[in-house]
Amino acid sequence: MTHPAVLALLLLLVASVSWLLRDPAQPGETAPATATHSTERQVDYYLRGLQATTMNELGQPARTLRAAEAKYFKDNDTTELLEPWLTVHQGERPAWEVRSESGWVSADGSLVLLQGEVHIERAAAPGIDPMQIETRDLRVQPREDYAETDEQVRVRSNQNWLDATGMQAWLREPSRIKFLADVKGFYAPPSQ
């Protein structure tokens, strides 16, 4: 090989290596997602179609948590839920069904934040009227079957309704609900 041929080959090799090692974020180009530096949290693992049931001391279902998707974050040991659905079982009595758009579970599982619109339902049974509750941003302590919110609340049962601001609910028998402010409602006496 002559000297100019070696020089041309060397220039071609340098150009090829330079093209391979070029910065992907040149003007007019988009850097791949893996090349960007972001502060987004990293998901350690995720589940689709989550269903977990906790049993009571008698070995009967106490509560069941379902979610379309669950993402676990190792950095703070928390879990984010998509379309969570919590069932608080009541033995022979109708269960409380609690659904929301999204949710968050604390590291030790003692706190569940149901975010966005929250729908709570209890079916009818002999001697028990059906009940539907609509609110937003519900804080749930699953081990105590306790829930609370500071948001607007609407309760319906048959033709009866009640509106309030803020609510505390104890879902375990004997179930009870306390409304915190601005309570107004309508009660239709039973027909004879």
Reported as a single tens digit per residue, the pLDDT across 146-175 is 999 999 999 999 999 999 999 999 988 888
Give the side-chain half-sphere CA count within 13 A for 110: 1
Is-contact 80 104, C-beta < 8 A? Answer: yes
Rounded to the nearest integer, the mean pLDDT of the chain is 81
Q: DSSP secondary-structure letter at 92? A: T
If one compares 9 and 42, the residue with the highest pLDDT of the two is 42
Beta strands in 5-76 (DSSP E): 45-55, 61-73
Rounded CA gap, 111 and 123, in Å?
Answer: 25
**At 16, is the pLDDT very low, low, confident or very high (cuts 50, 70, 90)?**
very low
* Mean pLDDT along residues 86-113: 92
Q: Against a cut of 0.85, is the pTM above it?
A: no
The number of residues making up the chain comes to 192
**At 39, is the pLDDT very low, low, confident or very high (cuts 50, 70, 90)?**
low
Q: Is the pLDDT of residue 6 over 70?
A: no
Q: Is the pLDDT of residue 139 over 60?
A: yes
Every domain of the chain and the residues it spans:
41-150
User: 41-150: CATH homologous superfamily?
Assistant: Lipopolysaccharide (LPS) transport protein A like domain (2.60.450.10)
Q: Where are the alpha helices (H) located in 53-191, listed in sequence order?
A: none
Q: Where are the alpha helices (H) located in the chain, listed in sequence order?
A: 3-20
Q: What's the pLDDT at 112?
A: 92
